[in-house]
Amino acid sequence: MVPLRGQPTPSLLARIAAGQAGGVILLGNAWTSRAVTRSALTQVQQAACRRGRPLLIAVDQEGGSVRRLRWAPPTLSAAEMTTPASAFSQAQAAAAAMRDAGIAIDLAPVADVLSTTHSFLGTRSFGSDPAAVARLVRSFAGGLQRGRVAATAKHFPGLGSATASTDDRAVAITRSAAFLEARLAPFQTGTKLVMVSNASYPALDPSGSPAVFSHAIVTDLLRGQLGFDGVVVTDALDAGAVADEPHAPSRALAAGVDLLLYSKTAASEAAYASLVHDAAASPTVRAELAAAVKHLDALEAWLGLSCKS
């Protein structure tokens, strides 16, 4: 999944037509209207359909301070959505606007349960009570998915204890396994996607590997113990916490991830080349790619995405 910060360039359209991107994430401040957004997304989908497979198009549309589409709901932040009814209605309105513009995935809601007053998440979280957060996450996700926009619970297994963002630096969450597991209910709320954190969780994986590269966290805990069978997406693999990790795409796939997210064009190009190299050299990587594609196929079918006119 590669970044789109405005009208697509010829080089991006060529990459998409060549099958070098499976999706785009809308970033930046160029998305000033529904018409501007729809125009750009029509172009990238036309390029994708020249190779016969539509793109997955995503945006961070949480509400409050994280709202790429300023013309679209949610108008409230998570902290201001204090009832299930308000979370559902805000998300349902957002879904209608997003699907009309050509967007099928919302990288929301934040499912992290706050456990420090110094959290970098601030009003992006629904609160500090796991049961209440789970109710609100379920309602927000339900509103999105009623409108056929796939919801994404993030950032598994939780960033509610973090005071710094993994976008900027390596972060280790040093809470006990029992503490972390008591706050997993918001990630079991029926979302079509779960985004995995770039932080490390020594109590859940003593190797200290960031969660996005951790088989113990993605496959054993999320897929095994919690039974999640949807699409697992990374947080940005070019973020400060993980940007220097070698073979990051194939390591994420080995952990059990399906969709690899990049916020910078050069990083996404390098990642594609890395994955092609690793897949050519390893039947294991090719098998992991095939498993990821099955999850993505199921998501595309649920979304009703097609290249048929």
pTM: 0.97
Whether residue 241 has pLDDT greater than 70: yes
Higher pLDDT, 65 or 157: 157
Q: Is 43 domain-assigned?
A: no
Query: Is 12 a member of any domain?
Result: no
Domain-located, residue 19: no
Looking at the domain assignment, is residue 2 inside a domain?
no
Listed in sequence order, the residues at least 6 apart from 11 whose beta carbon sits closer than 8 Å to its beta carbon are: none
| pLDDT at position 77 over 90 | yes
Residue 231: per-residue pLDDT: 98
- Residue pLDDT, tens place only, 243-280: 999 999 999 999 999 999 999 999 999 999 999 999 99
Number of domains in the chain: 1
Let me know if residue 210 belongs to a domain: yes
Q: Is residue 124 part of a domain?
A: yes
Q: How many CA atoms lie within 13 A of 3 on its CB side?
A: 20
**pLDDT per residue as tens digits for the range 96-137:** 999 999 999 999 999 999 998 889 999 999 999 999 999 999
Instruction: With respect to residue 139, please indicate whether it lies within any of the assigned structural domains.
Output: yes
pLDDT band at 308 (very low <50, low <70, confident <90, very high): confident
**Domain span at 96:** 55-303
Mean per-residue pLDDT for 58-66? 95
pLDDT of residue 133: 98
Do residues 236 and 263 make contact, with C-beta atoms less than 8 angstroms apart? yes
User: Does residue 212 fall inside a structural domain?
Assistant: yes
Percent with pLDDT over 70 in the chain:
100
Are 268 and 237 spatial neighbours (Cβ–Cβ below 8 Å)?
no
What CATH number corresponds to the domain at position 287?
3.20.20.300
The Cβ of residue 306 has, within 10 Å, a number of other Cβ atoms equal to 11
DSSP 8-state assignment for residue 125: S
- CB count within 10 Å of CB 38 equals 14
Cis peptide before 155 (omega within 30 of 0): yes
- Render pLDDT for 173-221 as a digit per residue (tens, 0 to 9): 999 999 999 999 999 999 999 999 999 999 999 999 999 999 999 999 9
* 2-41 confidence digits (pLDDT tens): 999 999 999 999 999 999 999 999 999 999 999 999 999 9
pLDDT band (50, 70, 90) for residue 309 = low
